[in-house]
Chains A and B, each alone.
Chain A
Amino acid sequence: SYELTQPPSVSVSPGQTARITCSGDALPKQYAYWYQQKPGQAPVLVTYKDSERPSGIPERFSGSSSGTTVTLTISGVQAEDEAVYYCQSGDSTGTFFGGGTRLTVL
């Protein structure tokens, strides 16, 4: 089955850079997507196709890919970035999410 592994939590101070990783054997062959979810809200797409950013998403959010790992980088973290972040990928059989990473802004 398709598995995407994320760390449960990441903590950073305001203004620092947060990096959230997502690992999976299929990632070299498939694009990854990242979502931000705040409590009580629907997820929001923050990057797509590994490194593209949808319109309206701040430039401090960026995605990258290397081998079996994709990374969401948030530069100059702000208090409002505190949320759970999910990676997602897929293939012809369907799509799958990682378990989520809680970003805490200290």
Chain B
Amino acid sequence: QVQLVQSGAEVKKPGASVKVSCKASGYGFTRFHMHWVRQAPGQGLEWMGIINTSGGYTNYARKFQGRVTLTRDTSTSTSYMELSNLRSEDTAVYYCARSFRQYGMDVWGQGTTVTVSS
């Protein structure tokens, strides 16, 4: 079945970087772009960016430009989100989600909790 499986929880210190992976299965990986969305504790959804899994092109939310990098490995059908210069406000659950019908997201990963604490 179609699924996205993300890497496990991370605990990082302020100023460090984190890299979260998202492995796709059950469909043609390069046929669909991949979004990344985060959700701070008790808060709403926040879009971070999107990667064209075929060509590798990216589009980042203005808030994260300069700190986030989306990449992909087509040989393993895996997308990656790296966030640098972490601060406590980056503590959140990070999701990957398959792009669907222009801006929609029809398949989501299970989420990866990233905790930033000194």
**Chain B residue total in the interface (Cβ 8 A):** 25
Alpha-carbon gap, A31 to B105, bound state (A): 13
Q: Specify which chain A residues have a CB less than 8 angstroms from the CB of B111 in the assembled complex.
A: 42
Alpha-carbon gap, A48 to B110, bound state (A): 21
Alpha-carbon gap, A44 to B61, bound state (A): 22
15 pairs from A and B in contact (CB 8 Å cutoff): A31-B103, A33-B105, A42-B111, A43-B45, A43-B97, A45-B100, A45-B104, A48-B100, A48-B106, A49-B104, A94-B50, A94-B59, A95-B35, A95-B50, A95-B103
**B80 contacts the other chain (Cβ, under 8 Å)?**
no
Q: Specify which chain A residues have a CB less than 8 angstroms from the CB of B105 in the assembled complex.
A: 33, 35, 43, 45, 88
Q: Is the CB of A97 within 8 A of B101?
A: no
Alpha-carbon gap, A48 to B97, bound state (A): 15
Alpha-carbon gap, A54 to B2, bound state (A): 14
CB distance from A65 to the nearest CB of B (A): 14
Q: Is the CB of A90 within 8 A of B59?
A: no
Residue ranges of B at the interface with A (Cβ–Cβ < 8 Å): 35, 37, 44-47, 49-50, 59-62, 95, 97, 100-106, 108-111
Alpha-carbon gap, A98 to B108, bound state (A): 18
Alpha-carbon gap, A33 to B61, bound state (A): 18
A36-83 with Cβ < 8 A to chain B: 37, 42-45, 48-49, 52, 54
Q: Specify which chain B residues have a CB less than 8 angstroms from the CB of A30 in the assembled complex.
A: 103
In the complex, what residue of chain B is closest to A37 when comparing beta carbons?
B45
Q: Specify which chain B residues have a CB less than 8 angstroms from the CB of A42 in the assembled complex.
A: 95, 97, 108-111
Q: Is the CB of B44 within 8 A of A88?
A: no
Q: Is the CB of B95 within 8 A of A97?
A: no
Known: A31-B102, A43-B97. 17 other contacts (CB 8 A): A37-B45, A42-B97, A43-B45, A43-B95, A43-B105, A45-B105, A48-B104, A49-B102, A86-B45, A88-B105, A89-B103, A90-B102, A95-B35, A95-B50, A96-B47, A97-B44, A98-B44
